Amino acid sequence: MKKLWVLMCALVLAVGLLAAGCGGDTGKKDAGAAAKPAKKELLVGTEPSFAPFEFPKENSKEFTGFDIELIQAMAKDMGYEKCTIVNMGFDALIPALDAGNIDAAIAGMTITDERAKKVNFSQPYYKSGLTVLVRKEDATIKSIDDLKGKKIAVQLGTTGAMRAEKVEGAKVTTFNTNDLACIELKNKSVDAVIGDLPVEQYFLKNGGSAYAKIVGQPLTSENYGIAVAKKNTELAKNMDKSLENLKKNGQFDKLYQKWFGVSK
Do 193 and 173 belong to one domain? Answer: yes
Do 208 and 83 belong to one domain? Answer: no
- 119 within 8 A of 107, measured Cβ to Cβ: no
pLDDT in tens, the chain (264 residues): 433 343 444 444 444 433 444 444 444 433 433 467 778 999 999 999 888 999 999 888 899 999 999 999 999 999 999 999 999 999 999 999 999 999 999 999 999 999 999 999 999 999 889 999 999 999 999 999 999 999 999 999 889 999 999 999 999 999 988 889 999 999 999 999 999 998 898 888 888 999 999 999 889 888 999 999 999 999 999 999 999 999 999 999 999 989 987 666
**Cα-Cα-Cα-Cα dihedral sign, residues 86, 89, 94, 99:** negative
Do 62 and 190 belong to one domain? Answer: no
Beta bridge mates, 183:
none
- Residue 3 has a pLDDT of 37
Instruction: List the CATH number of the domain containing 108.
Output: 3.40.190.10
Helices marked H in the chain — which ranges? 2-32, 66-78, 93-99, 113-116, 159-164, 178-186, 197-205, 233-248, 251-260
- Residue 183 has a pLDDT of 95
Distances (CA, A) of 93 to 1, 70, 88, 89: 78, 18, 7, 7
Do 253 and 197 belong to one domain? Answer: no
User: Does 18 reside within a domain?
Assistant: no
- Residue 17 has a pLDDT of 39
- Residue 35 has a pLDDT of 61
Length of the chain: 264
User: Does 21 reside within a domain?
Assistant: no
Do 117 and 83 belong to one domain? Answer: yes
The mean pLDDT value of the chain amounts to 86
CA distance 108 to 70: 12
Three-state secondary-structure class, residue 121? strand
**Cα-Cα-Cα-Cα dihedral sign, residues 197, 59, 157, 242:** negative
The tens digit of pLDDT for each residue in 202-229 reads 888 888 999 999 999 889 888 999 999 9
Q: What's the structural domain count of the chain?
A: 2
- Residue 58 has a pLDDT of 87
User: Does 36 reside within a domain?
Assistant: no
CA distance 145 to 158: 20
**Whole domain around residue 75: which residue ranges?**
41-127+223-260
Do 106 and 187 belong to one domain? Answer: no
User: Does 199 reside within a domain?
Assistant: yes
Do 156 and 92 belong to one domain? Answer: no
The tens digit of pLDDT for each residue in 128-147 reads 899 999 999 999 999 999 99
